A and B are shown apart, each in its own frame.
Chain A
Amino acid sequence: MVPKNNMIREQDVKQALYAAVAVGEAILEYGGEVSRVEDSIQRICSSYGFIRADVFCITSTIISTAYTKNNEAVTQSCRITHIGNDFDKLGRVNDLSRIICREHTDPEKVLARLKEIEALGTAPFPARMLIYALVPASFTVFFGGNLADLIISGLIGSILFCLESRLKDARFNRLFSALLCSLAGGFLANTLSLGINGCNPALISIGNVMVFIPGVKFTNSIRDLMTGDTVTGLICLAESLIMAVAVALGFAAFSLLFI
């Protein structure tokens, strides 16, 4: 326990800020918003007895400066390279940040708890394959597909998931991996539906597109622009548009060639 408003040694100060930034980093990496990161770091810092904390966060960096009672400033920054979506872990980190604010948890314990959360697993591979079949199958029906479309769409979704996780393991460039998956998706949608009556390759494609197209990021980037997180908004807008071009290029390549 760190006694409130009673931090003596310089090392403790650094460790406390480090823990706060690590919590912020985890929130961002598991899919939390930039404003949530800034808010959490500020709250944790004030619970550790800093009199003021200035936090600036965009999707790739966190910079935070905290001031002790003696007006000494400590600054730490953190580079974020990968942002995913894992709301189970996000919820746990969020709980952790609340506990820190309430109980002024020891920074070392915070770091240990973050490691524990990071080590938590996701669903097993076959289950994830089924999940990634469910999503495109649903959206194929959503846009008007029939039963045959649904089955083919789900099948392609599973295949693309396997391909994508292989590419991710090989640390492929994200844009290029999306392009490859989309190319494969467009090709499969057009060839698998060839022999089957009443199949609509466009609907099968659009179901699978929904997994890869950054629609959520695009919409959220406009929200960020409206709420004043301008830098984050512009970064996400640019990223999502470039990604959308890659996905459209991949899925459309086949039909561009043959129609």
Chain B
Amino acid sequence: MNEYLQLIAAFSGSAGFALAYNFRGKKHVLTAGLGGAAGWLCYLIVLHASGNEYLAGFAGTVLCSFYSEAAARFLRTPATGLLIVSSIPMIPGASLYRCMQHLLRSEMELFEREGAYTVLFASCMAAGFVFSGTLIHLFRSTNKKTE
């Protein structure tokens, strides 16, 4: 139940950010929202299958990248915006916040733990962006050559 709610919230959260970043047109906003939910679904599935949050973050980001690239082709917009917005539910904003909160309360042990998690998780997401970005670039350049 909790996870279904999370999926809906991921959808509306991503769609909300899409609106805040001035996406034009219902189609764009809905696509961005769906991307957010799809990314979070992928995160949850991999998390349950492997029990590893970092791997789940990586997989979710890779899915978001391919989704945004495909949707961007379809909607004829740059993929960047879609990618940023659809990966927002996974972005470790909450743990970045908790980490700084621990620092301010000088709870050093908790700060270290939360800080390490934040940096590692963000790095896994960044690795996901780079990995899929490279693959997409590869596809594109081979496509151009064959044309």
Contact = CB atoms under 8 A, between A and B. Distances in A.
A173 interface: no
B21 A218 contact: no
A203 B105 CA distance: 19
Interface residues of A, number: 48
A222 B122 contact: yes
B104 interface: yes
Contacts of B101: 248, 251-252
Contacts of A206: 94, 97
Contacts of B78: 32, 36, 87, 90-91, 94
A234 interface: no
Nearest to A210: B93
Interface in B81-131: 81, 84, 87-89, 91-94, 96-97, 99-101, 103-105, 118-119, 122-123, 125-127, 129-130
Contact of A219 (B6, B100, B103, B125): B125
Label chain B's interface by main secondary structure: helix
A85 B22 contact: yes
A222 B123 contact: yes
Interface in A132-154: 132, 134-135, 137-139, 141-144
A227 B127 CA distance: 10
Given A91-B77, A132-B20, A218 B84 contact: no
A220 to B, nearest CB: 8
Nearest to A253: B104
A227 B130 CA distance: 7
Nearest to B102: A248
Interface string A80-98: 0000011111110010000
A181 to B, nearest CB: 14
A213 B105 contact: no
Given A87-B22, A88-B23, A223-B126, A215 B9 contact: no
The interface size bin for chain B is: 35 or more
B100 A247 contact: yes
B88 A216 contact: yes
Given A222-B123, A227-B130, A209 B97 contact: yes
A131 B130 contact: no
A139 B20 contact: no
A210 B94 contact: yes
A17 interface: no
Interface of A: 31-33, 36, 85-91, 94, 122-123, 128, 131-132, 134-135, 137-139, 141-144, 206, 209-210, 213, 215-216, 218-220, 222-223, 225-227, 244-245, 247-249, 251-252, 256
12 contacts: A91-B24, A91-B78, A123-B22, A128-B20, A141-B6, A142-B10, A209-B97, A213-B96, A219-B122, A244-B100, A245-B103, A248-B103
In order of increasing CB-CB distance, the 7 nearest A-B pairs are: A215-B93, A248-B100, A87-B81, A138-B13, A142-B9, A135-B16, A215-B91
